[in-house]
Amino acid sequence: MATGLLVFGTGIQAAGQFTVEARGAVEQCDVIHYLVADDVTRFYLESLNQNLVSLHDCYATDKPRMQSYIEMVERVTGDVETGKLVGMALYGHPGVFAYPAHEAIRRVRASGHYARMIPGVSAEDCLFADLGVDPAWAGCQSFEATDFLLFGREFDPRSSLILWQVGVIGDTSFQAKGYNYRKGIEILADRLISKYGRDHKVIVYEASHYPIYPPRRDVVLLSELATTRLTPESTLYVPPNGAAKPDPNMLELLGITDVEVARIKLRVGQSTLLTA
């Protein structure tokens, strides 16, 4: 393969969640454009391929994030057009909360070149493991927090709810010194309280970057959420509020008995962190 684009994720934990497939991509590329969260991962990339180009300088304080993303895409696709096999290394899973990756692949393919995304470990994968959540228990809904509020997303309180980027609600620019999240989280808390009540327990989660440090797993009441410390990495896990009841018509159509329904209900849970 002479010309094209390989997009891959570096996982959440520093170098430790790097897949064998991603490593193979790094080793064969002519140049790697990277956006990672820690120096350990950068050093690991450099040990495999010294032709690294950082994408971090595309960000600037008060600069719209979309403008930064477009600059990243143009850098990556520009290198492909020079005849190189280009790598794009992104923190976590390269297709999750990663507009530049999808847009770069679209443009490269539109120009007639090869482009492929290689999956990686995402923050959601870490959340399922760290909180003891099985999305099959009661279903799982996932939204970016600003999108969730802005578009009035419909959701079922009887299923798990995951809200991403709760620490940057309503902010579309990059802020190197931190974000003023208080107003956004107050609005979010009010909406959730209207569905779950003030005493419903939720978890503020942040995956660990290093195996020697535990993840953040703060259990708080919804009534406390508006005063809880958040960061740009904070994710909110809202466990189900009650169990759904089976549809009698569907029971008949599917041929499921009451005994089988009882067995299915045994799979329904919240989180091992909340039920232990």
- Say whether 33 sits in a helix, a strand or coil: strand
Q: Is 191 a catalytic residue?
A: no
Map tokens 């492909």 to a residue. Answer: 80
267 as an active site residue: the answer is no
Catalytic residue among 34, 59, 69, 205: 69
Chain mean position to CA 104: 19
Q: Which of 65, 109, 216, 217 is catalytic?
A: 65
For residue 50, what are the CA distances in angstroms to 2, 25, 29, 34, 36?
A: 19, 13, 10, 12, 15
Report the b/e string of 51-67 with b at 16+ CB within 10 A: ebeebeebbeeeeeeee
* 69 given a catalytic annotation: yes
| DSSP category for residue 247 | P
Q: Alpha-carbon distance 6 to 35, whole Å?
A: 14
| Residues whose CB falls within 8 Å of the CB of residue 56, separated by 6 or more in sequence, listed in order | 35
Q: How far is CA 159 from CA 17, 53, 94, 206, 220, in A?
A: 29, 42, 27, 21, 19
Tracing tokens 């391929």 back to the chain, one arrives at 49
Q: Residue 227 has what DSSP assignment?
A: G
Q: Which of 34, 44, 59, 91 is catalytic?
A: 91
Which secondary structure element, helix H or strand E, spans residue 259, and what is its range? helix 258-266
Cα 271 versus chain centre, distance: 19
Q: Give me the sign of the Cα torsion angle 118, 19, 237, 176.
A: negative
User: Residue 171's CB: how many other CB atoms inside 10 A?
Assistant: 16
For residue 17, which amino acid is it? Q
Active-site amino acid positions: 65, 69, 91
